[in-house]
Amino acid sequence: MVILLTNDDGIEAEGLLALKKELSKIGEVWVIAPSGEQSAVSHSLSLHRPLEVRKIGERSYAIDGTPTDGVILGYYGILKNSPDLLVSGINHGPNLGDDVTYSGTVAAAIEGTLLGIPSIAVSVADPNFRYFNPGAKFVKKIALLILEKRLPENTFLNINIPAKREKIFKYQITKLDKKKKKKVELKRITLRGKTFYWIGKENTTWAKGKYTDYEAIKKGYISITPIKLDLTDYEAIENIKGWRIF
């Protein structure tokens, strides 16, 4: 099979290299990833400038753009045919709950799904960024299952791996958790009469609902969350139909 691999931490990131090593055992891996870190860029595209693409190895390309740029370049430009699978990661740090809306890692899987490619976003909940091999081995298993079982239409998997050195044998199928409380640190800088703000660390309290991705990680389980791209609120449709707008 042909696997397209990308991330938002950069083409030299340890998590991506661990995935490349494992996935190369089951398919032909093409790496098209940002040349540097693109964390929290979400689903952004580089529309107002040309993208530099550098071939740095066999089936390996670095781009000066976002993860979503990488998926589009791979699908429409570099690969001759649509890949059988898209894998984004392994992200250096978790992508849990509401944070998936910020994540460049998750956005690449969203773009793959929009293009009809079975897609996985995978992250490791390790603040020290040390243990990627257990997650990479698990993703290899999931990749083979996806090709056999298939994913529902317009659905991708968001996988989070707990921080463990050894092989992980426990997983849960989860839903996204919600942030109960959120506080963002801002640093204000005044320079030459201009005011700047630097968005810093986020302190979060989670709702900690049952069967959520956050709960699974806290218990040492791998979290597998199916995410559907249809954002329509079907219950709200009937309510809004009752509005008298005109």
In a domain, 212, yes or no: yes
Distance separating alpha carbons of residues 225 and 173, to the nearest angstrom? 6
Residue 181 lies in a domain: no
Residue 191 in any domain: the answer is no
Predicted local distance difference test score (pLDDT) of residue 237: 94
Q: What whole-number percentage of the chain has pLDDT above 70?
A: 96
Residue 198 lies in a domain: no
197 within some domain: no
| Residue 188 counted as domain residue | no
Q: Which of helix, strand or coil describes residue 183? A: strand
Query: In CATH, what number is assigned to the domain containing residue 39?
Result: 3.40.1210.10
Q: What confidence tens digit (pLDDT) does each residue in 55-72 have?
A: 999 999 999 999 999 999
Residues 82-110: tens digit of each pLDDT: 999 999 999 999 999 989 999 999 999 99
HSE-CB of 241 using CA atoms within 13 angstroms? 6
Evaluate whether residue 101 is within a structural domain. Answer: yes
Q: What is the pLDDT of residues 171-227, one digit of tens each?
A: 999 999 987 666 777 788 888 888 888 777 777 776 677 899 999 999 999 999 999
68 to each of 21, 105, 107, 117, 228, how far by Cα in Å? 22, 9, 6, 13, 18
Count of structural domains within the chain:
1
Q: What is the domain range of residue 95?
A: 2-176+208-241
Rounded to an integer, the average pLDDT of 216-244 is 94
In a domain, 45, yes or no: yes
Entry pTM: 0.90
CA-based diameter of the chain, in Å? 63
- What is the signed CA dihedral for 92, 98, 101, 103, rounded to 10 degrees? 0
